[in-house]
Structure 1
Amino acid sequence: MSVFKSLVKLAATASVAGAIAVSPIFTLKAEALTEAQVLERLGSIPVFTITDDKGSPLLGAVPQQPNTKADDSQLLFFFLGPDEAQQMLSQVQKSNPEVGKKAQIIVRSMNDAYQVIRQNKDKKVLFQFIPAKASIESARTILTAQGVAADKIPNVPVFFAIGGQDKNQGLLTMSIDQNGKKEQVVPFFLDKSDLQNLLDRASKDQPDITKATKIQVASLFQVLDSMVSKDNKPNPEVDRFQFVPSRTSFEYILKNSKQSANPQLAPQATPKK
């Protein structure tokens, strides 16, 4: 059974309790999701990329492997953490000062990134999402303790919580304000520490729930795949899944809100010499 078939099964067996709860998704009057609606959920996840002063992304060369033919494809990185983007910017500024002095970090959504990938799928441009180092380390710690091999660590991990005991286990939900209405969602955090902070705060008012809660990890792409079936029919059981960006990303965006008015996210053709 896949990870998220197991999650949906867990969600169907639990009971609702409080602002932070272990809740059955089936009782939440979920509406169906299409693939387009699932991709819209990615609009809440910021990604960081390196561009020139006009907003055109800087592309890197694909590292050549030993005993392989030269590859003229280029790489475009989408960073999920500002620190990793800043490290890349510093490398560009050091290795190529002329380019680096005009380079900058811009922020867009993961939905934007997916649109760029789709539009350039036939071009010699490869795309890679780079998670925050802390997220990879947190995922490795959790999965290693469960006996999972190092090569099975998700490329882009997300963190969620399971509470309850035995047959009453379920996914942790939280109540949020959506346009003046209270709704229950199943949150998936890009930063484990943000989820842990939420549980620590909740433990003061709801110790019985949080005491039996465990943080788990899965691949972001598995979550997305689980939200729509292979024939693009919706999966109503996962309608309440929501992604929570890291606090670090929010703080960076607030601090560096001044950006190019119209950045060109799509990769540009390299001028011929």
Structure 2
Amino acid sequence: MKSLVRWGATLGMAGSVFLGGLVGIGNLPGLGNLEAVALPQDQVVKKLQDIPVFTLVDSKGGLPILVGKNGSKTVPLVVFFISKQDAQKFLDNRLRQDDAKLASTLQVRPLPLAEYYKIALEGKKKSDSVIYTLEPTQEQVKSAITMLNQNGQKVQQFNGIPLFVPKFKKDNSYLTIPLAQGNERYIPFYFEKEQAVELLDQFKKAVPQEAANTEIQVVDLYRVIEALNSSNDPIINKIVLYPSRESINFIRSLAPNQAPANKPAAAPAPKK
């Protein structure tokens, strides 16, 4: 969890007005026409390293294999959650009702999204058919469905982990944020709609003439990971996954004595 502790020291940057744009990657769900030239695997893992996910472990740190349903079939699965609260509710409510003895031996444990990614990849290579599932926050799934329908897509369900990306409509470019000292800027992909709305509202106040040219795009985490693994578009490397507010608070709790970094100054105008 060391990377999460380091991340906690930079999260003070989240409140600034972030201007500027990078030319876009294409419209999801496909992220445009991607060519099969993968980023180095360590770079993909690095982008996932600073996002906490939560799972259940036994007293020895092992992952319990639960029983779930895939249609009419019974399948073995290990469950991970985007939200710590969701993981705790699953343990306290669902699992304690189904198997109180098992639940009494388990606790919620955080780990980086990169670890879930590696575990899931390794699981695909094995013949035991265990499914490693990552559960989204249902409130954000509902927000994603609502936004997609408002944008003219007829969507009844969202089978994935929604991310929300502030962008410009006309030239398919994205609002960017600075994450460290210097001039380099990154495209934030938020796990919460509210974070994307807050960023976009700040931008609209700063540059009202561009307000009508902005929107929030809904994307799927799995498609983003696929793009990181397969795209040669240099803009892909500018993507940064930004934790939910719940996760930010959790990360900060890991390093209570670390002071947040100073907020960076906003750029004077969006880059086209």
- TM-score w.r.t. the length of structure 1 is 0.72
1:125-151 deviations in whole A, cap 9, x for unaligned?
A: 111111111210110001112332335
Paired letter, 1:193? E
Are 1:37 and 2:30 matched, yes or no? Answer: no
- Residue of structure 1 equivalent to 2:237: 239
Give ranges in structure 1 of 5+ residues lacking alignment. Answer: 1-17, 27-31, 258-273
Q: CA deviation at 1:156?
A: 1.0
Q: Structure 2 CA distance, aligned partners of 1:188 and 1:64? A: 30
Q: Does 1:156 align with 2:157?
A: no
Partner amino acid, structure 1, of 2:104? K
Please point out which of 99, 112, 117 is paired with 1:114. 117
Matches within 5 A, 1:39-58: 39-58=45-64
Q: Deviations over 1:27-73 (max 9, x none)?
A: xxxxx93233123211122111011232212221132644x6xx4x4
- The equivalent residue for 1:201 is 202
1:81-115: CA deviations, max 9, x gaps?
12221221112233333222232111111110121
CA distance in 2, matches of 1:183, 1:237: 12
* Aligned 8 A contact 2:52 2:113 in 1: yes
Q: Tell me what 2:9 maps to.
A: none
Contact 2:57 2:64 in 1 (8 A): yes
Compared CA separation, residues 235 and 22, structure 1 to 2 (3 A): closer
Q: Which residue does 2:91 correspond to in 1?
A: 89
Decide whether the 8 Å contact of 1:203 with 1:210 is kept in 2.
yes
Tell me if the contact between 1:176 and 1:182 (Cα under 8 Å) persists in the aligned partners. no
Q: Which stretch has the larger CA shift, 83-92 or 194-203?
A: 194-203
Which amino acid counterpart does residue 57 of structure 2 have in structure 1? Answer: T
> Compared with structure 1, are the counterparts of its residues 19 and 193 closer, same or farther at alpha carbon in structure 2 (3 Å cutoff)?
closer
Q: CA deviation at 1:170?
A: 1.8
Instruction: Tell me, yes or no, if the aligned pair for 2:58 and 2:64 is still in contact at 8 Å.
Output: yes
| Cα RMSD for the two superposed structures | 2.8
The equivalent of 1:249 in structure 2 is 247
1:48 and 1:38 mapped to 2: Cα distance? 20
- TM-fit CA distance, 1:256: 7.3
- Please name the residue that 1:78 is paired with: 80
The offset of 1:198, in angstroms, is 2.0
The 1-side partners of 2:205 and 2:236 are apart by: 29
CA 1:134 to 1:65, structure 2 compared with 1: closer, same or farther past 3 Å? Answer: closer
2:224 aligned with 1:223: yes
Hey, what's the Cα distance between the residues in 2 that align with 1:184 and 1:21? 8
Per-residue CA distance 1:168-206 (angstroms, 9 max, x = gap): 4422212221xx333211111111111112223344433
Among candidates 121, 131, 140, match of residue 135 of structure 1: 140
Cα distance 1:93–1:256, how it changes in 2: closer, same or farther (>3 A)? farther
TM-superposed CA distance for 1:25, in Å, is 6.7
d(CA) in 2 for partners of 1:129, 1:175: 29
SS at the partner of 1:86?
Answer: helix
The amino acid that maps onto 2:82 is L
Shift of 1:248: 1.1
Q: 1:55 to 1:243 in 2, by over 3 A?
A: same
Q: SS of the counterpart of 2:49?
A: helix
| Higher RCO, 1 vs 2 (CA within 8 Å, ≥6 residues apart) | 2
